[in-house]
A and B are shown apart, each in its own frame.
Chain A
């Protein structure tokens, strides 16, 4: 593994650890419902502060179940990840194509922009 790839893997590992540690250490155990969303907790806090407050507008469309909602969230993440992967894949392909074309044209030509192509 190149140094570049090692650093990238390390970054991902830290992010994963930051997400998993609260679960592994049971940091939600003191709560009735551990690991609920902060947005939902804020709604609860609002109803505590202002018990009379009535939301005056309802969502136009509400996913009928938790499953449908999680599917739509997954769709959102998948769309984003797809575009990101397309971008980096296209870039890598273009760079390889350029390098190959340069290599075919002049085998001695120094590859000016090949730093870190090992990732």
Chain B
């Protein structure tokens, strides 16, 4: 999902930057508030960021005969809500664009929009909907992470199709082309990411029950409203 440096026309690059900035600024505020209110959550915040660091560094073979990487953003979005993930995802993307020449500064806005904004929000929405409709925690976590991963790559496909419409078949044709490269490759990886997120959530369930309850992942007496208000 990393659009390479310089590979978006300046107008597109600027537009995605403008679209992403408020989410990241809002996320920084949410993050500061969270750390100030609950200093003990810093460690779990670090672990959530670390999960994204690991997963987005792993390029894994897929059924299409190409390699791609998961995003790891579903976990943090479920634990700490999507705004905070906008910050953690941006940090990861900055690291990769500055040190690895993977992604780029001119395409940072677009990449942040797909990985750090749409992915976490879409994943969290699916997770929350499933939870509200009474699905088991781990099923909701799996589909939340699955959707966070896959939607990121769908957004990248749309971004590239908008910037490079096919001369013959237009935006739709380009979308089919980029979607074929990204989205299909990503399906098994999204399954992997879902399973790994479930694994980490199981470990958290054993080790950090108190924290999960405070974050509203585990319910006590069904006070989901309180969790939704945060």
- Interface on A for B, CB 8 Å cutoff? 4, 7-8, 11-12, 14-15, 18-23, 27-31, 34-39, 41-43, 45-46, 49-50, 53, 55-63, 69, 72-74, 76-77, 79-84, 87-88, 90-92, 95, 113, 115-117, 119
Contact = CB atoms under 8 A, between A and B. Distances in A.
Given A27-B64, A37-B67, A38-B181, A59 B101 contact: yes
A15 B205 CA distance: 20
Contact of B206 (A28, A53, A87, A116): A116
26 contacts: A31-B65, A35-B67, A37-B59, A38-B66, A38-B153, A38-B182, A43-B4, A45-B178, A46-B164, A49-B166, A49-B177, A50-B164, A55-B6, A55-B7, A57-B106, A59-B97, A61-B98, A63-B100, A72-B100, A73-B57, A76-B95, A76-B100, A80-B51, A87-B43, A90-B43, A115-B206
The number of chain B residues touching the other chain, given as a range, is 35 or more
Given A49-B174, A84-B200, A87-B47, 20 more contacts: A18-B191, A18-B192, A19-B61, A23-B61, A28-B61, A38-B153, A38-B182, A39-B2, A41-B66, A45-B181, A46-B164, A49-B177, A58-B6, A76-B100, A77-B53, A77-B57, A80-B55, A81-B50, A81-B54, A88-B203
Contacts of A79: 50, 53
A69 B160 contact: no
Nearest to A9: B199
Main secondary structure of the interface of B (DSSP, over half): helix
B158 interface: no
Interface in B145-192: 153, 156, 160, 164-167, 174, 177-178, 181-182, 185-186, 188-189, 191-192
B134 interface: no
A27 B186 CA distance: 15
Interface of B: 1-7, 9-10, 43-44, 46-47, 49-68, 95-102, 104-106, 153, 156, 160, 164-167, 174, 177-178, 181-182, 185-186, 188-189, 191-192, 195-196, 198-200, 202-203, 205-209
Contacts of B203: 8, 88, 119
B65 A84 contact: no
A33 to B, nearest CB: 9
Nearest to A118: B206
Given A42-B178, A49-B177, A77-B58, A57 B6 contact: yes
Nearest to B10: A56
Given A18-B191, A42-B160, A83-B50, A117 B206 contact: yes
A80 B67 contact: no
A80 B44 CA distance: 12
A87 to B, nearest CB: 4
A107 B192 CA distance: 43
A11 B195 contact: yes
A72 B196 CA distance: 23
A101 to B, nearest CB: 16
A27 B202 contact: no
Contacts of A83: 46-47, 49-50, 53
A7 B202 contact: yes
Contacts of A4: 202, 206
